[in-house]
Amino acid sequence: MNTRILAAAALACAAVLAACTSAPTTPAPTGNGPLAGVCPSTVVIQTDWYATPERAAAFQLVGPDGTVDVTKGAYAGPLGDTGINVEVRLGGPFLGGQPVPAQMYQDPGVTLGFVPTDDAVRSQSKFPVRGVFASLDVNPQIIMWDPATYQVSSWRDVAATGAPVVYSEGKIFMDYLIANGYVRPEQADASFDGTPSRFVAEHGRVMQQGYVSNEPYRWEHDVKGWQKPTKSLLVHEAGYEIYPHAWSVRSGELDKLRPCLTELVPMLQQAQIDYVTDPGPVNDAMLRIAETIPDGPPMTAAGNTDSVRRQLEEHIVGNGTDATLGNFDTARVDRAIAAVTPVLRSRGQQVADGLTAADLVTNEFIDPALGLKTTP
């Protein structure tokens, strides 16, 4: 089902922004439609961060005219004429520091959560989840640097520079990079605060984490004191092949949700396709969300447009090994499990022996006919 049609059918909120934010509760679903009685009356999607283009498929389901709930940190509206609502919840501070799987078990009202493969492995013993849709095919996580300061063309070059690599405390990918010799232990600096301040203050003499679909554009165009190109390497290219946004359900509820997921997951696939095909309306909605909910990351219309371009260019959004968007390459998931398991165990965390892709993901609900069209 085309989500642009669904979005057009969605109820519009009032024209003025104040009216759009004054109704904190999700609109009542009609109760009449193909998903009424099949899915929960409100499908709640718990994301892992603020509303950004990397997460836009969730907001595409609601469409451009959803209601912003400032207190809850949510964006909601009817899923077209299906008879149900969608509520997209922001992550970050709205999670209270909890990983998404833990939040899903604390709040049984959450239907689907954004869970990266490494977090699914880490959470499997206490908070088991199963991914049913991968909105991003490649993790956008990068390490970025100033090309005038460091000449780097491969991950091996990063270690050779000796440069501090600034990242957020607790990121599993950094332990992987260290364990595989791509970053020296003394280079790892877990003081990243999410801003460009240190990068600018030290005139590019540090490397730092980022998203290929976000920071390089912002640093070049919007960051005062810098405003010049950077270069980067995808963590994916170092062999850390996680799926960053596996839309997941609690494992024990898969059977109960099967009738719903059979109908809903193809809509999720179509939402991602529709977004990157015509991102303007939902990009505008995400700007409205950013303007309404304070303290989120900086966002501009030009940056959102460039983000979609980079996501397509870098295959962040794209078909997998076949012509289908959103399915899991189970061999790749097995490789990711093998990559992250020793890292997690070195931290003293429990990972069950014999964990495989079948424990973490399923392609049961994917429509293989849905994918991005490629130019011959």
**Which run of H or of E encompasses 290?**
helix 280-292
User: Does 173 share its domain with 252?
Assistant: no
Counting the structural domains of the chain, the total is 2
Residues 6+ apart with CB under 8 A from 305: 279, 283
User: Does 217 share its domain with 231?
Assistant: yes
pLDDT exceeds 90 at position 2? no
For residue 80, CA distances in Å to 6, 61, 62, 86, 238 come to 4, 9, 8, 10, 41
Domain span including residue 279: 3-135+242-360
CATH number at residue 273: 3.40.190.10
Average pLDDT value for residue range 214-230: 97
Average pLDDT value for residue range 249-278: 98
Query: Cα–Cα distance between 336 and 242 in angstroms, integer?
Result: 6
- pLDDT reported for residue 97: 83
**Residue 333 is assigned to a structural domain of this protein:** yes
**Residue 14 is assigned to a structural domain of this protein:** yes
Give the pLDDT confidence of 135-178 residue by residue, as tens digits. 999 999 999 999 999 999 999 999 999 999 999 998 999 999 99
User: Does 267 share its domain with 194?
Assistant: no
Give the pLDDT confidence of 314-370 residue by residue, as tens digits. 999 999 999 999 999 999 999 999 999 999 999 999 998 999 999 999 999 999 999
User: Does 313 share its domain with 328?
Assistant: yes
- pLDDT reported for residue 15: 31
Confidence of residue 90 (pLDDT cuts 50, 70, 90): very high
Average pLDDT value for residue range 103-115: 98
User: Does 13 share its domain with 37?
Assistant: yes
Both tokens assigned to 341? 């398991």
User: Does 214 share its domain with 72?
Assistant: no
Average pLDDT value for residue range 61-65: 97
Give phi and psi for 132, each to the nearest 5. -120, -10
Rounded to the nearest integer, the mean pLDDT of the chain is 92
User: Does 262 share its domain with 340?
Assistant: yes
Last residue within a domain, chosen from 187, 216, 238: 238
pLDDT exceeds 50 at position 12? no
- pLDDT reported for residue 73: 97
Strand pairing class (165-166; 207-211): parallel
pLDDT exceeds 80 at position 10? no
140 alpha carbon, distance to own chain's centre: 9
User: Does 69 share its domain with 121?
Assistant: yes
**Residue 256 is assigned to a structural domain of this protein:** yes
Last residue within a domain, chosen from 184, 208, 238: 238
User: Does 193 share its domain with 339?
Assistant: no
Query: Cα–Cα distance between 185 and 179 in angstroms, integer?
Result: 9
Average pLDDT value for residue range 251-266: 98
User: Does 114 share its domain with 250?
Assistant: yes
Return the axis-axis angle of helices 280-292 and 301-313, rounded to nearest 10°.
130
Average pLDDT value for residue range 95-115: 96
**Residue 222 is assigned to a structural domain of this protein:** yes
**Residue 313 is assigned to a structural domain of this protein:** yes
**Residue 152 is assigned to a structural domain of this protein:** yes
**Residue 369 is assigned to a structural domain of this protein:** no
Confidence of residue 19 (pLDDT cuts 50, 70, 90): very low
User: Does 188 share its domain with 262?
Assistant: no
Give the pLDDT confidence of 307-325 residue by residue, as tens digits. 999 999 999 999 999 999 9
**Residue 296 is assigned to a structural domain of this protein:** yes
User: Does 75 share its domain with 129?
Assistant: yes
pLDDT exceeds 70 at position 295? yes
